Amino acid sequence: MDLGLRGRVALVTASSAGLGRAAAASLAAEGAKLAIVARGPARLEETAESLRAGGTEVLSIAGDVTDPDMPARLVDATVERFGRLDVLVANAGGPPRGRASEVDDEAIRAAVEANMLTSVRLVRSALPHMRAARWGRICCVTSYSVLKPIPTLALSNLARAGLWAWARTAAADLAAEGSGVTLNLVCPGTHATQRTIDLGGADGPMGDPGDFGKVVAFLCSEPVGFVNGSAVAVDGGASAAG
């Protein structure tokens, strides 16, 4: 199947490791040009070099995507380098563990900033370019907590549910205006990444980040033009289990 991504320009944030890097690698394998972002420059450059070694044009930008100014700067830098922006994969680091009655105001504000507002800012910054081109694919990396609350990750549950409410509203607007832009959430379950190790490992089977990246590339492809406002679980059934 031709995903129609050859020559497209994709911005993937939080992409020097884990699920973001896997999404970038899958988009690159389909022929997209890439802008990638992370805070740590060494791992970012290593990722950029590995993508370039496969023949991909890569712009790497070191920075914290949760800085309020950063989303607009990332979009501007991508368009300046490649002349367009077709695909946005909005990703950021996840919040720490905590049960609902334990998380304080400061932690809640930080989670909303990183896992809700950052994606909203990225989408808002990307949309003028996609609307002008009458084509765009946006995929926000969230968690299966959107579909089923995770008792020990109350911060993820609340911030990502807020993003989901906003994204559904935005997706409906984009469809109504005939924008040619789709906006979907991808909701990972436990995958074998550093974040999973940092949270203490997995109780059961883990997903392969490479497979997750392929699902993201598909959700950003030409044939998904009628998939809009969806929250796609990539969780091995975790959100379906009772």
Ligand X SMILES: NC(=O)c1ccc[n+]([C@@H]2O[C@H](COP(=O)([O-])OP(=O)(O)OC[C@H]3O[C@@H](n4cnc5c(N)ncnc54)[C@H](OP(=O)(O)O)[C@@H]3O)[C@@H](O)[C@H]2O)c1
As measured in angstroms, the least distance from the Cβ of 194 to ligand X is 4
Of residues 38 and 116, the one with the C-beta less far from ligand X: 38
As measured in angstroms, the least distance from the Cβ of 14 to ligand X is 3
Q: How many residues does the chain have?
A: 242
Task: Answer whether 10's CB lies under 8 Å from 88's CB.
Answer: yes
Of residues 179 and 184, the one with the C-beta less far from ligand X: 184
Nearest Cα to 142, choosing from 165, 116, 172?
116
As measured in angstroms, the least distance from the Cβ of 102 to ligand X is 18
Of residues 22 and 183, the one with the C-beta less far from ligand X: 22
List phi, psi (to 5°) of 98. 165, 140
Task: Answer whether 70's CB lies under 8 Å from 134's CB.
Answer: no
As measured in angstroms, the least distance from the Cβ of 106 to ligand X is 17
Closest chain position to ligand X (CB): 94
Helical segments of 87-200, H only = 105-112, 118-133, 154-176, 194-198
Of residues 24 and 174, the one with the C-beta less far from ligand X: 24
Contact positions toward ligand X, by CB under 6 A?
14-20, 37-40, 43, 64-66, 91-94, 141, 143, 188, 190-191, 193-196
State whether residue 229 is helix, strand or coil: coil
As measured in angstroms, the least distance from the Cβ of 48 to ligand X is 12
Of residues 174 and 217, the one with the C-beta less far from ligand X: 217
Distance between CA 170 and CA 181 in Å, rounded? 10
